[in-house]
Chain A
């Protein structure tokens, strides 16, 4: 077996272990949340018997260890449990499996993240490489200043500025990203344009600056001087000699930002009323819908782990010392 395949399996194994530890932390953290669902739903006036009966229906009267084992065993079989909302005690059983709640929202989130990534990653790479190529020029300074400006403002501010410009002054895009499962693809892209644009402005700076720094960092290497002494032009030096050795740090930053696109964009979702998974989780936290909170948290953790794994693999396959051992 090629050593890289082995490494990938090792990392995957470690990822599963990490995910398991994270599940413990999530469960423990939720245990520590004040208040409980029964009280929150039934209100102050509920009698103790009603609350106890409701808790029994939800299984909240079981010891924490049992509930954890029950939950994690379900997760291992792909079952995230059932939401606390709309249970039988409220008359009709309208409760839904957590997975049915999360799946459409997650799909929307991934769509927005994908759309943003398709624009932001190539843009950041292009800006970073060209800034390194024309280092210290007016172009370089302008790009640096602009990206720094956009990253320095809070997301909601960037969002409102964009709404002002692109929906009020020059109405090009809709200000509400009202999408559902049967919205057509082109229409989806059009309606998601505003949040995607906002997120692009927020994440491009970080990736662009890392790309530029990783390349410039290598320009002092002896092999870069050697490349110049064989008559390579500046463009060739950057693209052929510096960039291939700079992928590992760039990939790490890209992975970090992509993970942010999945797990950290709730503010932008709220501004554009985008039905993403971030809003779902915030709602679930405020209504103490524990199975949904746990499900979201676990998916977020898995996103980080998988994207970092991908970044690690990129780091390995672009490093000849690891790819072609002695």
Chain B
């Protein structure tokens, strides 16, 4: 390896962030070497510092962060010694960035193609006409529909998966030496993710561009990266080439990341139905969203509803809870029909069905303490007050494996996983028989996810709870369900026991959904043949 082979050489990098009135270390001395044309995967939980490191590779720090030590040598130039104006000569020119949420990262006021070519034109890499025609070529190389005209649209006029590909085209437009991909597919549906991954890998290979690919999803990074570096708490855990890393991770922490997917659930005896949704159709205004949906939930079991965004799975939850009265059909609970609208339901109806949401953050009043949050349903549904209420709050806390110290904390003083546990305790406080879990683990890291899923399963076997588990994550479904319902465009396309749904033969859509889930095999994407949907 000669010296000029090395494109990026980071040595002993230290970065601090300002919060709570003092500086906290985020990156605590990390080395990183990237050769030309090489793709490195950076993985770790949130808070590991992977995004901060990715941005730092461009010499960029977010407001409120500062570099306190080390070097970032890009093609022989130490970025830490450059002024902002000098660094701007590199950004959007020799190094580009692909952000996690393309929908938020495109300026809503400008057309896509103008944004795609902006930096290419600014740096005089080519003139506007050439850059635009090249952008159209890139769009078509990235399999975007209507590649000739899609650039004339505004960001809100195209889908999330398409925007992510347009952003890749934008990153590729100046033909950079280095692209930073910052969780580019995390916000996408699994079937869209495959398309985007393919497109990105193809184009990175075609132009032999070096890249840093940041993600928390191991299976995804396995498809993209030549080398994988694992980060935790701002330190490097280990680095190895992808195949070695997947086959034989050295460190315990890396092994624990790998083992999350191995969660399984013992079979449970089948009991009578606690909930049955019968032939329900519903619509938002004039737009129909559910068509003749029937779902049964046996007592003490977990029924998972899977599907992409727009499949109507959350709408099913709104119908069950009475937030959206259906146009046709009925919801039966414990053998009796539930009144369709929430206002017609008794306190007892409401008590027996509770809900847990995806964003624990927004599901809690930020100005209430844990004691008030959990105490409210105790008072409202069970009439507990004073000492009895307090004792019950403590009992619930121990049930969700948090100790008494948390009782006077505010939501802002809790981690993401702890917040979700408090939401679970709040649902349990009403002593429900059915809990609807709407994407409850989607916003959490894999290790935290595992903790929450284990907790839910333990509670189920102790309290004979039933769960309706809404998710788009197939590996979660495999881990925890007894029954699986697959939804697409407001219809149930397939349902049955987990084994019967996951064993072939499948419905074609189920097949597509299952085969789109990345596997921990570096050759998976290359060998993948997706079923055609008719």
Q: A interface vs B, CB < 8 Å?
A: 221-223, 225-233, 241, 244-245, 318-321, 324, 326
Q: List 28 A-B contacts (CB under 8 A).
A: A222-B99, A222-B105, A223-B105, A223-B107, A225-B62, A226-B106, A226-B107, A227-B107, A228-B60, A229-B58, A229-B91, A229-B97, A230-B91, A230-B96, A230-B97, A231-B88, A231-B90, A231-B93, A231-B122, A231-B123, A232-B88, A232-B92, A232-B118, A245-B107, A320-B108, A321-B154, A324-B153, A326-B156
Does B109 belong to the interface (CB within 8 Å)?
A: yes
Contact of A231 among B62, B92, B154, B157 (CB under 8 A): B92
Residue of A nearest to B152 (CB): A324
B123 to chain A, nearest CB (A): 7
Does B119 belong to the interface (CB within 8 Å)?
A: yes
The CA-CA distance from A223 to B103 in the complex, in Å, is: 9
B159 to chain A, nearest CB (A): 10
A228 & B91 in contact (Cβ 8 Å cutoff): yes
A149 to chain B, nearest CB (A): 30
Determine the chain A residues whose CB is within 8 A of the CB of B101 once the complex forms.
Answer: 222
The CA-CA distance from A213 to B436 in the complex, in Å, is: 42
The CA-CA distance from A233 to B89 in the complex, in Å, is: 10
B92 & A230 in contact (Cβ 8 Å cutoff): yes
Determine the chain B residues whose CB is within 8 A of the CB of A326 once the complex forms.
Answer: 156-157
Does B250 belong to the interface (CB within 8 Å)?
A: no
Does B104 belong to the interface (CB within 8 Å)?
A: yes
Interface string of B69-110 (1 = CB under 8 A from A): 000000000000000010011111100110101001111111
A225-B62, A324-B154, A324-B157 are known contacts. Are A230 and B119 too (CB-CB below 8 A)? Answer: yes
Q: Which 3 pairs of residues, A with B, have the shortest CB-CB distance?
A: A230-B92, A231-B92, A244-B109
B96 & A321 in contact (Cβ 8 Å cutoff): no
Residue of B nearest to A218 (CB): B107
B92 & A320 in contact (Cβ 8 Å cutoff): no
B107 & A229 in contact (Cβ 8 Å cutoff): no
Interface size on B, residues (CB 8 A): 31
A244-B109, A244-B110, A320-B156 are known contacts. Are A226 and B97 too (CB-CB below 8 A)? Answer: yes
Determine the chain A residues whose CB is within 8 A of the CB of B85 once the complex forms.
Answer: 233
B208 to chain A, nearest CB (A): 22
Which DSSP category, helix, strand, loop or mixed, fits chain A's interface? helix
A229 & B154 in contact (Cβ 8 Å cutoff): no
Which DSSP category, helix, strand, loop or mixed, fits chain B's interface? loop
A226 & B105 in contact (Cβ 8 Å cutoff): yes
Residue of A nearest to B88 (CB): A231
Determine the chain B residues whose CB is within 8 A of the CB of A229 once the complex forms.
Answer: 55, 58, 60, 91-92, 96-97
The CA-CA distance from A231 to B122 in the complex, in Å, is: 9
B119 & A231 in contact (Cβ 8 Å cutoff): yes
Interface contacts beyond A231-B88, A231-B90, A321-B108: sample of 7 additional A-B pairs, CB < 8 Å, sorted by A: A221-B104, A222-B101, A223-B104, A232-B118, A232-B119, A241-B109, A245-B108
Determine the chain B residues whose CB is within 8 A of the CB of A230 once the complex forms.
Answer: 91-92, 96-97, 118-119, 122, 170
Residue of A nearest to B62 (CB): A225
Determine the chain A residues whose CB is within 8 A of the CB of B119 once the complex forms.
Answer: 230-232
Contact of B106 among A223, A225, A318, A321 (CB under 8 A): A223
A245 & B109 in contact (Cβ 8 Å cutoff): yes
The CA-CA distance from A321 to B170 in the complex, in Å, is: 22
The CA-CA distance from A310 to B269 in the complex, in Å, is: 67
A226 & B89 in contact (Cβ 8 Å cutoff): no
Residue of A nearest to B95 (CB): A229
A192 to chain B, nearest CB (A): 38
Interface string of B35-70 (1 = CB under 8 A from A): 000000000000000000001001010100000000
Determine the chain B residues whose CB is within 8 A of the CB of A223 once the complex forms.
Answer: 104-108
B109 & A222 in contact (Cβ 8 Å cutoff): no
Determine the chain B residues whose CB is within 8 A of the CB of A231 once the complex forms.
Answer: 88-93, 119, 122-123
Residue of B nearest to A322 (CB): B156
Among B58, B101, B107, the most chain A Cβ lie within 10 Å of the Cβ of B107
Determine the chain B residues whose CB is within 8 A of the CB of A225 once the complex forms.
Answer: 62, 99, 105
Determine the chain B residues whose CB is within 8 A of the CB of A221 once the complex forms.
Answer: 104
Determine the chain B residues whose CB is within 8 A of the CB of A324 once the complex forms.
Answer: 153-154, 157
The CA-CA distance from A225 to B107 in the complex, in Å, is: 10
Determine the chain B residues whose CB is within 8 A of the CB of A244 once the complex forms.
Answer: 107, 109-110
A110 to chain B, nearest CB (A): 33
A320 & B154 in contact (Cβ 8 Å cutoff): yes
A233 & B88 in contact (Cβ 8 Å cutoff): yes
Determine the chain A residues whose CB is within 8 A of the CB of B97 once the complex forms.
Answer: 226, 229-230
Determine the chain A residues whose CB is within 8 A of the CB of B55 once the complex forms.
Answer: 229
The CA-CA distance from A231 to B121 in the complex, in Å, is: 11
The CA-CA distance from A232 to B62 in the complex, in Å, is: 15
Determine the chain B residues whose CB is within 8 A of the CB of A321 once the complex forms.
Answer: 108, 154, 156
Residue of B nearest to A223 (CB): B107
The CA-CA distance from A211 to B298 in the complex, in Å, is: 58
Determine the chain A residues whose CB is within 8 A of the CB of B105 once the complex forms.
Answer: 222-223, 225-226
The CA-CA distance from A150 to B400 in the complex, in Å, is: 58
Determine the chain B residues whose CB is within 8 A of the CB of A228 once the complex forms.
Answer: 60, 91
B104 & A222 in contact (Cβ 8 Å cutoff): yes
B437 to chain A, nearest CB (A): 29
B297 to chain A, nearest CB (A): 36
Determine the chain B residues whose CB is within 8 A of the CB of A226 once the complex forms.
Answer: 97, 99, 105-107
Residue of B nearest to A227 (CB): B107
The CA-CA distance from A241 to B107 in the complex, in Å, is: 7
Determine the chain B residues whose CB is within 8 A of the CB of A318 once the complex forms.
Answer: 109
Among B89, B109, B153, B156, the most chain A Cβ lie within 10 Å of the Cβ of B109
Residue of B nearest to A219 (CB): B63
Interface residues of B in 162-199 (CB under 8 A from A): 170
The CA-CA distance from A299 to B85 in the complex, in Å, is: 54
Interface string of B113-157 (1 = CB under 8 A from A): 000001100110000000000000000000000000000011011
Determine the chain A residues whose CB is within 8 A of the CB of B89 once the complex forms.
Answer: 231
Contact of A320 among B90, B91, B109 (CB under 8 A): B109
The CA-CA distance from A222 to B183 in the complex, in Å, is: 14
Determine the chain A residues whose CB is within 8 A of the CB of B96 once the complex forms.
Answer: 229-230
The CA-CA distance from A280 to B58 in the complex, in Å, is: 66
The CA-CA distance from A188 to B55 in the complex, in Å, is: 59
Residue of B nearest to A224 (CB): B107
